[in-house]
């Protein structure tokens, strides 16, 4: 999917599809809140394990938030306008994004 623009604006759908599921959460922010309530959210920005869901926000995300998948080497698969590798755990290229935290994918997701 690298280089694809098919998920522009649909980051939560991208990570769910990567795990072989869909329709679990209405948005990245909804997923973040559910995982936070479940007690699985972590707040460190280093040593994020491969496959973890990494959440952030910005001022213009419409309340949906953003989510990426950690590669385990300090980089992330970022389904922004184009699916690409990002070095920033907040997902952006500048400080306009706010890192929220990370969590393992939910245990019930098939690709886990």
The pLDDT tens digits for 75-85 are: 999 998 899 99
State the pLDDT at residue 60: 80
Cβ(65)–Cβ(57) under 8 Å?
yes
Distance between CA atoms of 85 and 99, rounded to whole angstroms? 16
pLDDT in tens, 8-46: 989 999 999 999 999 999 999 999 999 999 999 999 999
State the pLDDT at residue 4: 92
pTM of the model: 0.91
**DSSP H or E segment with residue 40:** none
Burial of 99 (C-beta count, 10 Å sphere; 0-12/13-18/19+): middle
Burial of 50 (C-beta count, 10 Å sphere; 0-12/13-18/19+): exposed
Q: Is the pLDDT of residue 94 over 60?
A: no
State the pLDDT at residue 92: 59
Q: Is the pLDDT of residue 95 over 90?
A: no
State the pLDDT at residue 20: 95
Q: Is the pLDDT of residue 93 over 60?
A: no
Distance between CA atoms of 69 and 11, rounded to whole angstroms? 10
pLDDT in tens, 57-66: 987 888 899 9
Distance between CA atoms of 35 and 39, rounded to whole angstroms? 6
């Amino acid at each position: 999917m690298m280089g694809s623009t098919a998920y522009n604006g649909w980051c939560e759908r991208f990570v769910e599809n990567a795990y072989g599921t869909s329709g679990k959460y209405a948005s990245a922010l909804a997923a973040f809140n559910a995982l936070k309530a479940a007690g699985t959210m972590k707040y460190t920005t280093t040593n994020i394990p491969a496959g973890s869901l990494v959440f952030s926000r910005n001022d213009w995300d419409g309340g949906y938030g953003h989510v990426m998948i950690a590669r385990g080497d300090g980089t992330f698969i970022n389904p922004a306008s184009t699916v690409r590798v990002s070095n920033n755990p907040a997902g952006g290229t500048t400080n306009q994004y706010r890192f929220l935290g990370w969590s393992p994918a939910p245990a019930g997701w098939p690709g886990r």
